[in-house]
Amino acid sequence: MRITMIGSGYVGLVSGACFSDFGHDVICVDKDESKIAALKAGRMPIYEPGLEALVEKNVAAGRLSVTTDLAASVAGVDAIFIAVGTPSRRGDGHADLSYVFAATEEIAAAVTGPTVVVTKSTVPVGTGDKVEAILREKRPDVDVQVVSNPEFLREGAAIGDFKRPDRIVIGTEDDGARKVMQGVYRPLYLNESPILFTGRRTSELIKYAANAFLATKITFINEIADLCEAVGANVQDVSRGIGLDNRIGKKFLHAGPGYGGSCFPKDTLALLKTAEDFETPVHIVEAVVKVNDSRKRAMGRKVLNALGGAEAARGKSVALLGLTFKPNTDDMRDAPSIAIAQALTDAGVTVRAFDPEGTEQAKRMMPDLTYCSDAYEAATGADAVVIVTEWDAFRALDLTRLKQTMAAPVLVDLRNIYRREEVEALGFGYTAVGR
């Protein structure tokens, strides 16, 4: 099939590359000329394991191409996917749909025949109706069906998620559009990946409900971690104990410094705004957002306490290991490291930082930090080392070497990747989460 993917960011590029790997002919479109030029030169705009090789393979096979010319890219194709950004709008937290509607206007001006327009971007309930209204108004002469097909990709594991999905959600009640979408996902259908066909508004809400529920699980276990510290319990054992209940499940029950990234923060806010607009408050999600925001600041205080308190910390040096919101990505959006670094610098602490992939992104957001080439350089002269993101590179640090480079042997493990007895046996002061 012939597919156009509007937007060559995280969702658009991964989806386009995977569709082309299925055998479809895919064009990825983006207005950013520098991004398209970089892609044509083989440079990826994002870090995602396996993506560069996948793009290179399918470009060489002639199934995948990139361009800035939207008009030429939508003529005569079977499906047009809208995969542009929907960031939180300043002031009210609602999803900014300006990029979605701008893409829709351009599609309407360029489409030449029957096609299916698919909203892949995460959009509030009713967005598909507005997209359809624009297309109907601008091009009443063309049969265009609008479908919702939300993405469920985890950064760092996106290619595997796309090719071996838990489910594929497709929102349409039109038989023709349904057949087109079955053709698009035929390779996965043959592998018996679950495909849920539902109404368009239901499909839009499924995405938000899923992310809000996962954010709730993370926030729940983080609050239980605080309780564990107060009563002398171990949150890791609590997580295992409740996760073995198959009604709960073990995923997203790892205590830490709070959630971040491109999805959970903006999607929970957008869901709150939608609920407010329809006068059906979602108090649990509201609490999740508040608790998560306060938790990131609390992690900064936790580090200061490990240094002896805010007064004692002034003038000291801290090494932050891991800056991205999770490992295997360069995404810094709403990363806990931002709030932690701010709390430390506000207290007069010098912050030295290292991240395997996120340094360039971090420099734009936190230009006042000192950036290092590896964990040991960051730890040089530090009064504490703080593990913020659980990159594999930090799971087996040479703690003896680390201690030798530090001014004081203090390890603050915000991801619980080390055993207390082993660290303390080497002479470290050790602070964990919920243990």
> Residue 193: pLDDT band by 50, 70, 90 thresholds?
confident
Percent of the chain, pLDDT > 90? 96
Question: Length of the chain, please?
Answer: 435
- Mean pLDDT computed over 339-365: 97
> In the prediction, which pLDDT does 90 show?
79
Task: Evaluate if residue 382 carries a pLDDT over 90.
Answer: yes
Residues 353-362 pLDDT 10s: 999 999 999 9
Separation between Cα atoms, residue 174 and residue 320, nearest integer Å: 52
Burial 419-435 (b: 16+ CB within 10 A, else e): ebeebeeeebebbbbbb
- Please give the structure tokens belonging to residue 2: 């012939």
CA atoms 218, 223, 229, 234: torsion sign: negative
Number of domains in the chain: 3
Predicted confidence at residue 308, as pLDDT, reads 96
Are 275 and 323 in a shared domain? no
- Please tell me the predicted confidence (pLDDT) of residue 190: 76
Report the pLDDT value the prediction gives residue 332, as an integer from 0 to 100. 97
User: Encoding tokens for residue 338?
Assistant: 């931002």
Q: What tokens does 80 get?
A: 């047009």
Q: What residues are paired with 359 via a beta bridge?
A: none
**Catalytic residue (choose from 28, 228, 263, 372):** 263
With both helix axes pointing from N to C terminus, report the angle between 200-231 and 283-306 in degrees, rounded to the nearest 10. 40
Which of these, 405, 385, 403, lies nearest to 394 by C-alpha position? 385
Of the three residues 290, 305, 333, the one that is the final residue of a domain is 290
CATH of the domain at 239: 1.10.1040.10
Domain limit, last residue, from 237, 267, 290: 290
Model confidence at 192: pLDDT above 90:
no
Whole-number pLDDT of residue 396? 93
pLDDT at 89 over 90: no
The pair of three-digit structure tokens given for residue 320, joined into one six-digit string: 């932050």
Instruction: Name the nearest CA neighbour of 258 among 209, 203, 300, 197.
Output: 300
Cβ atoms of residues 4 and 80 within 8 Å: yes
Residue with token string 């709390």: 343
Distance from first CA to last CA of the chain, Å, rounded? 53
Residue 389 belongs to a domain with what CATH number? Answer: 3.40.50.720
User: Residues 8, 9, 12, 13: what is their CA dihedral angle, to the nearest 10 degrees?
Assistant: 70
How far, in Å, CA of 202 to CA of 223, rounded?
31
Same domain, 278 and 300: no
Residues 224, 434 contacting (CB under 8 angstroms): yes
pLDDT digits (tens, 9 = 90+) for 9-34: 999 999 999 999 999 999 999 999 99
* 92 has pLDDT over 90: no
Task: Give the Å distances, CA to CA, from 182 to 110, 415, 423.
Answer: 25, 41, 54
User: In terms of domains, do 102 and 39 share one?
Assistant: yes
Domain-embedded: residue 203: no
* Per-residue confidence (pLDDT) for residue 138, from 0 to 100: 95
Considering the domain architecture, whether residues 114 and 218 belong to the same structural domain is answered as no
For the chain, the 3-state helix, strand and coil shares in percent, each to the nearest 5, are 45, 15, 40
Handedness of CA 313, 317, 319, 324 (dihedral sign): positive
Instruction: Dump pLDDT digits (tens) for 253-312.
Output: 999 999 999 899 999 999 999 999 999 999 999 999 999 999 999 999 999 999 999 999
Q: What distances in angstroms separate CA 388 from CA 321, 362, 432, 434, one per listed residue? A: 6, 14, 11, 15
Q: Residue 60: its pLDDT value, please?
A: 97
Q: What is the mean pLDDT of residues 163-182?
A: 96
Angstrom distance (rounded) from CA 330 to CA 48: 8
In the chain, count H helices and then E strands.
19, 14
Is position 301 within any domain? Answer: yes
Same domain membership, residue 217 and residue 285: yes
pLDDT at 91 over 80: no
CA 366 distance to own-chain centroid: 19
Rounded CA separation 326/50 (Å): 17
- Give the full edge-to-edge strand order of the sheet including 64-67: 64-67, 25-29, 2-6, 79-82, 115-119, 144-148, 168-171, 195-198
Q: Are residues 258 and 346 in the same domain?
A: no
Which of residues 156, 177, 198 is at a domain's end? 198
Residues 276 and 330 in one domain: no
Give the mean pLDDT of 219-246: 98
Residue 263 bears catalytic tag: yes
User: What SS3 state is found at 95?
Assistant: strand
DSSP string, 322-340: --SSSSS----TT-HHHHH
Q: Within 10 Å of residue 388's Cβ, how many Cβ atoms?
A: 28
Number of other residues whose CB lies within 10 A of the CB of residue 234:
17
What is the reported pLDDT for 316? 98
Does one domain contain both 162 and 99? yes
Question: Are 22 and 6 contained in the same domain?
Answer: yes
Of residues 112 and 58, more confidence is placed in 58
Residue span of the structural domain in which 34 resides? 2-198
pTM of the model: 0.93
